[in-house]
């Protein structure tokens, strides 16, 4: 009887000792932290545009980073054709925002903003000629990526020429005369438009001389 009682007491003691330990083990289950939200450039864009015969890239960069995971605020745009690439610095984000425009690689302007160079073109022996240099590859099939950390791929291509904006040089103009850099057809139209007025003015002058000659003859006959 005593042995049975002692056995019961021993079991009770073991339960009493291990009970808090079991409860403590439950309380000390590993804590699973909440993963922070990854930063994103969703909504950011880059687009080509032509202004005054000059190719530009306009951009709007928006960084969403609620948990402060991004390691930088400097934005850049990377253009690549596979074999070639160029990185264009855009600037520093302020409060997660940045917007503006930059010249297309290979394009150049003078102090007044007039075009003096275009990608894939060179001025040789008094005329513009196409070349494989001066970022000519950027006028072909390219990929574009906005980089801040994170990155975002964006669609982008060289702006096509239009009747109002060439985005390429006229074939017979010097880079020292950027004020005349426009679509060839537009330049010819302007010249053609001025010529009829000059011809008309000359015709009116000849008619006036003819009338004056007739009047002089009549006066001479009367006298």
What are 92-107's pLDDT values in tens digits? 999 999 999 999 999 9
pTM of the entire predicted model: 0.64
Domain ranges of the chain: 46-180, 183-223
What are 155-202's pLDDT values in tens digits? 999 999 898 999 999 863 444 544 344 434 333 333 333 333 333 344
Give Cα separations from 185 to 53, 126, 142, 172 (angstroms). 13, 20, 29, 12
């Amino acid at each position: 009887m005593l042995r049975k009682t002692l056995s019961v007491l021993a079991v009770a003691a073991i339960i009493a000792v291990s009970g808090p330990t079991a409860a403590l083990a439950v309380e000390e289950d590993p804590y699973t932290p909440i993963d922070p939200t990854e930063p994103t450039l969703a909504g950011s864009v880059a687009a080509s545009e032509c202004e005054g015969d000059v190719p530009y890239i306009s951009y709007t960069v928006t960084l969403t980073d609620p948990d402060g995971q991004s390691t930088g605020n400097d934005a850049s745009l990377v253009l690549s054709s596979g074999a070639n690439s160029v990185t264009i610095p855009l600037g520093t984000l302020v409060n997660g925002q940045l917007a503006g425009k930059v010249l297309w690689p290979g394009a150049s302007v003078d102090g007044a903003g007039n075009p003096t160079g275009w990608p894939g073109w060179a001025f040789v022996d008094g005329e513009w000629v196409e070349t494989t240099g001066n970022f000519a590859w950027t006028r072909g099939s390219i990929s574009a990526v906005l980089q801040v950390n994170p990155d975002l791929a964006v669609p982008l291509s060289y702006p096509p020429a239009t009747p109002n904006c060439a985005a390429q040089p006229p074939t017979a103009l010097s880079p020292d005369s950027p004020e005349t850099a426009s679509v060839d057809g537009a330049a010819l139209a302007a010249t053609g438009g001025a010529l009829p007025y000059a011809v008309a003015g000359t015709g009116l002058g000849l008619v006036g001389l003819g009338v004056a000659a007739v009047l002089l003859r009549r006066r001479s006959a009367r006298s």
